[in-house]
Amino acid sequence: MNVRNIWLHRCAILLAAVAFLSMCTGTCVTSNEERPLYSVGQCHIWLSAGVAVLTIALVLCMRSAGAGSWPRRLGWIVVAGVAVEAVLGFQPLPQAPAVRIAHAFIAQLFFPLTVTIAALTSQAWKPHPAPMDGAGILQLAAKLTPFVVLAQVVLGTLFRHGALGVGLHLIGAFVVVLFMLGMALPVIYGPEYRALQIAAKLFLAIASVQVFLGLALFTMQSMDLDPAAMILLTMIHAAVAALTLAATIMLALLIRRDVCAPKRADEARAVSPS
């Protein structure tokens, strides 16, 4: 990897980190009317400016380093995301619920996209040298699970901003868990997928934390607690939701990159040099 590619990867990692912090502080601003932690949310403006600068720097680095087509496409998508977020974020206060919901959802989608770019620009992002045979159910789960988790993020954002009751979000949580287990457990318990097992275990660990936080928030709704504590837990829950979506996308990409259907795997081995 040349120096330009190294700096491209580092820029992508820095962008993902700042985007994550921006999303966390933004939750203090968009999710709460009383805003006892509003001073924390003031950092959101400066972090968002940092995201914009780093996004532009990332796109310039991609052009200079000759990045692949997929990273370049994702780069332009995140540029568009920054532009939309800026337009939504600078709407005059008080903002309409639809504006706040759209702003929060795009922020949670933006972070996983930056994580994906960081992975795709890494020197370690190489296909498995010998394609692994995969069951059809695993490949189907890798295709569907990211969209199911994304739908749950949408439901969570709507619920957090008071546009939706908790019922659909709870039902969605059970459906998401089933899809997550369907994608991760075959990898964890399949000896042929040893190269992907660490990623699958990390994915399930993050998802488990998110489920626990969701249950804790649901239980605490009926308690008379300090609003600051509820806001802090809501912020953590939203942050882990973005981490869960990012982990889902990454595991799905790894499966689709390295796991082939038996017929495709045989063909790949036949054309590979011995």
Residues 186, 223 within the same domain? yes
Structure tokens, 67: 């990045």
What pLDDT is attached to residue 269? 46
93: containing domain:
1-125
Residues 109, 216 within the same domain? no
What pLDDT is attached to residue 33? 54
Residues 43, 118 within the same domain? yes
What pLDDT is attached to residue 53? 92
What pLDDT is attached to residue 67? 64
Residues 6+ apart with CB under 8 A from 238: 23, 24, 27, 31, 104, 108, 156, 160
Structure tokens, 128: 């498995």
66 backbone φψ class: left, alpha, beta (φ>0; ψ -120 to 50): left
Q: Whole-number mean pLDDT of the chain?
A: 81
Percent of the residues in the chain that have a pLDDT greater than 90, as a whole number: 26
Residues 140, 258 within the same domain? yes
Residues 109, 198 within the same domain? no
What pLDDT is attached to residue 225? 66
pLDDT digits (tens, 9 = 90+) for 188-229: 998 888 888 999 999 999 999 998 888 887 777 666 666 667
Residues 66, 150 within the same domain? no
Q: Give the C-alpha separation, 118 to 250, whole Å.
A: 11
Question: What CATH number does residue 41 fall under?
Answer: 1.20.120
Q: Which residues in the chain come in under a pLDDT of 70?
A: 1-4, 29-41, 65-68, 93, 128-135, 221-228, 261-274
